[in-house]
Amino acid sequence: MMIKVFIFILLFVFFAGCLSENKHESTWKMLALGLPTQVDPSIAAINMGYYALKQTHVPLFDLDEDGQFRSKVLSNWNRSSDSRYYRFCVDGTRFFNDKKPFDLQYLHEFLDRFLMRSKTSVKLSREDQCVIAHFEQPEKDLLIQLSKMENAPSVVTDRVNIEDGLGPFSVRSITKSEIHFIRKIFVKDGFNEIRMFNYLGSADTHLNDKTIVDFNRVFVEELPDWVKKDYSDFGVALLQTINLLIDHQDPQVRKAVYNCVDIEKFRKAFMPGRDSFQDVATLLPVGIEGAMKGKAEQDRSSVGCQKLKNKKITFVNWKDGNAESLKKYFELFQEKSGIPVSVYSIALTEFASKIVHEPRDFNLSIVALDAVSPDITAFFGPLFGDPISVLGHGSADGKKLYAELKKEYGTARRKEILAELLKEIKSDSIILPLFQEVRTFYYPKYLKGLNMGQNFLEYPSIGEVRF
């Protein structure tokens, strides 16, 4: 009898120890501002799309802050000094799912499709477990393009709107209210599931859920006080700007809107609960190449902000709690510009879908532009259809300059093109910078590994986080 009791005590202590070691939930829960309706590389330019892809997909290369390229998925690689010869190798240990490995055949087909899409003259061959690429002309920006999430290796699945990548998680299901991820290989000291919940605003019951790990997409003014008290705080100046997108076919209307909008009053009307805003002069945030401090330059005179007749525009509002303040602001705007503004409200998830599809039933909208690597082209891509477009009436000259900017990396000419591109965007009046997002991020104190990776706090690699 004594032996049985002793064994029972040992077992109790053992299981209690296991429970104490894994006292935290193994499900990463977060509140998302607008869930994507699909998970594949085409949604990389959407904020929450990139958040999802960071868990499921891995590009062939990472571009670090020091300007060096590294690969998490290739076993070996090299290139010639003239950028005409590239060698990419695999070791067969990576996989998309239990049916599809990341092997030599896939890599060859992937590179063939990618290079055919880019209309690059190249000859591909195989050697051992490597794919060799010989270019007729130097291909200096190849690694930059292969470091973008929209170009990450991916395979279709039998689940609708879901593709598998080389990341640690795959998507189990997508609904309007949630995206559910599961880890491919179980770990005992980390997260094995991810649940991205569609945030419904200040009345969302998830704000009282103390098992939520990531509240950092919730509007600052709606963040629960208990999160600020109980979680660790990280001060972050995001590489993100909040902008008024002006998508009207009439250049005269675009210029009137650009010059007549009072930046301070408008951003306060859109976010009435926020007390302070950090000014930014262009769509590039301070802290990145080409950015400028201060507000966007406007001509608020009767010449720049001229009164127009027989014109009207529509503003789509995806934020709740600001209907009255927006109504009052647009009444003042009409007095100044002569342009009446109709406002209609939709859920952020619906807006995220509408903004990337034509035709759009609105002319004005608020969009956030950000970068997930040191490459500044991420801020301009959505304006010129790379990989998606948020505009129906963009500048043809701007698109040419953007194409040139992509080809120049680390050259003096790049700065000249950037200056010309910013000037063209302002002249075309397609986007008015409102402010740079600066906020404190909060995460539970028990998490380990939050200091790893580029933009890790904003777009965490959940597979690397441990308890």
Q: Is 77 helix (H, G, I), strand (E, B) or coil?
A: strand
> Taking a C-beta distance cutoff of 8 angstroms, is the pair 380, 405 a contact?
yes
- Angle among Cα 459, 316, 299 to the nearest 5 degrees reads 90
pLDDT of the residue at 74: 97
Instruction: Give the closest residue to 318 by CA, choosing from 35, 30, 29.
Output: 35
**Exposed e or buried b for every residue in 149-163, given b needs 16+ CB within 10 A?**
bbbbbbbebeeeebb
pLDDT of the residue at 314: 97
Q: Going along 90-186, which residue ranges are E strands?
A: 95-97, 100-101, 122-127, 130-135, 155-156, 163-164, 169-174, 178-183
pLDDT, tens digit, 9 for 90 and up, residues 289-317:
888 999 999 998 888 898 999 999 999 99
**What is the Cα–Cα distance from 314 to 269, expressed in whole angstroms?**
16
What pTM, to 2 d.p., does this model score? 0.80
**What is the Cα–Cα distance from 365 to 286, expressed in whole angstroms?**
22
> Taking a C-beta distance cutoff of 8 angstroms, is the pair 344, 316 a contact?
yes
HSE value, Cβ hemisphere, 13 Å, CA-based, for 405: 25
The two three-digit tokens of residue 236, written as one number: 């972050």
What share of the chain has pLDDT > 90, as a percent?
Answer: 65
- Report the DSSP pairing between strands 155-156 and 431-443: unpaired
**Chain centroid to CA 266: how far?**
24
The two three-digit tokens of residue 6, written as one number: 């002793």
Q: Is 182 helix (H, G, I), strand (E, B) or coil?
A: strand
Look up tokens 């990776």; give the residue.
453
Residues 275-284 have a mean pLDDT of 92
pLDDT higher than threshold 50 for residue 408:
yes
pLDDT of the residue at 451: 60
**What is the Cα–Cα distance from 357 to 392, expressed in whole angstroms?**
9
Q: Is 108 helix (H, G, I), strand (E, B) or coil?
A: helix
With residue 265 as reference, give the H or E element that holds it.
helix 263-270
pLDDT of the residue at 452: 44
pLDDT, tens digit, 9 for 90 and up, residues 362-395:
999 999 988 766 568 889 988 998 878 899 887 8
